[in-house]
Amino acid sequence: MKKIMKWVIGIAVIIMFSFFYAHIAKTHILYDNRVDTSKYMGTGVLSGKIEQKFVSEEDCLDGITIKCSIQGTPADSTVKISLKDDETGKIVAKSELKLKDIKNSKFNVFRFDRISECKGKTYTLYVENPDGDVEKTLGVGFSYEPKTEKGTELLINGNNVDGTLIAKTVTNRFDMETFCVVLLFVLYIVFFVKFLYRLFK
C-alpha cells in the first residue's frame, strides 16, 4: 500500500510540475520566419511612426515583442507602442520601454494589461521613438521583412511599405504541447534513472 501511495504522490508531483511549467508566454509571429534574416530591412531612427496591421490568432493578448536596434549612442531614448482595435477605432493598449531596458538587436517585450476576445480581430500596432534624433542617427530602429504577409499592412512615417514588421504577439497561457513534452521528458528521466538503479544495484 505504501509503495502504491509513493507512486501516486510521485506521479501527481510530476503532473503538477509539468502543468505549472506549461504556463508560458506563447508568441505568434506576424512575419515569415523562413525569410533569411540577412534580407531584413531597417527603418533607421523614426521621424514619425510605424503602423502595422495584423489579425490576432489568439483569444487574448498580453503584449507585443519587437526586434529593436539601438542606433548610434543616444544618451536616452524611449520606444512607445499602442494598439488600436480597428473595428471600434479605440486604443486598447499602451506600453513603453526606456533605452536602458532595451536589448540591442534582440526581441523586446512590451507588456500591457490583458485584452480579451481578440481572435480574428484586426488591430493596428503603432510604434514610435519620439525622442529619437534622425539627423544625428541617435535613437532606436526596427526591422521588417521585404514582403507583406496575409492580413497585414505596413506604413512607415505615413508611407505604405511592402513589408511586415519583425514582431510577435504575446499571450500568457497554458500550452498543451509544452505540457505533454515536459511530462513525457520528466517521466522518461524518472524511469531511466530507476532502470539504471536496478541495473547496477
* pLDDT tens, position by position, 86-122: 999 999 999 999 988 999 999 999 999 999 999 999 9
Q: Burial-class residue 111 by CB neighbours within 10 Å (0-12, 13-18, 19+).
A: middle
Is pLDDT of 85 > 70? yes
**What whole-number distance in Å separates Cα of residue 103 and Cα of residue 99?**
8
SS3 148: coil
Domains recognised in the chain with CATH numbers? 1-22+175-201 (no CATH), 25-173 (2.60.120)
Looking at the predicted structure, is the pLDDT value of residue 1 above 80?
A: no
Q: Is the pLDDT of residue 152 over 60?
A: yes
More confident residue, 21 or 162: 162
Instruction: Check residues 136 and 49 and name the one with the higher pLDDT.
Output: 49
Tens digits of residue pLDDT in 180-190: 776 677 766 77
Q: What is the pLDDT at residue 185?
A: 75
pLDDT tens per residue across span 26-83 = 899 999 999 999 999 999 988 889 999 999 999 999 999 999 999 888 878 899 999 9
Residues pairing with 69 in the sheet = 141
The residue with cell 526591422 is: 143
- Segment 129-151 shows an average pLDDT of 91
Q: What are the grid coordinates assigned to 4, written together?
A: 502504491
Q: How confident is the model at residue 161 (pLDDT cuts 50, 70, 90)?
A: very high
What distances in angstroms separate CA 43 from CA 7, 79, 150, 156, one per listed residue?
Answer: 57, 14, 21, 8
Q: Does residue 178 have a pLDDT over 70?
A: no
Query: 41-63 in b/e burial notation, b at 16+ Cβ within 10 A?
Result: eebbbbeebbbbbbbbbbebbbb
* C-alpha dihedral sign at 151, 80, 87, 25: positive
Q: Does position 4 have pLDDT exceeding 90, yes or no? A: no
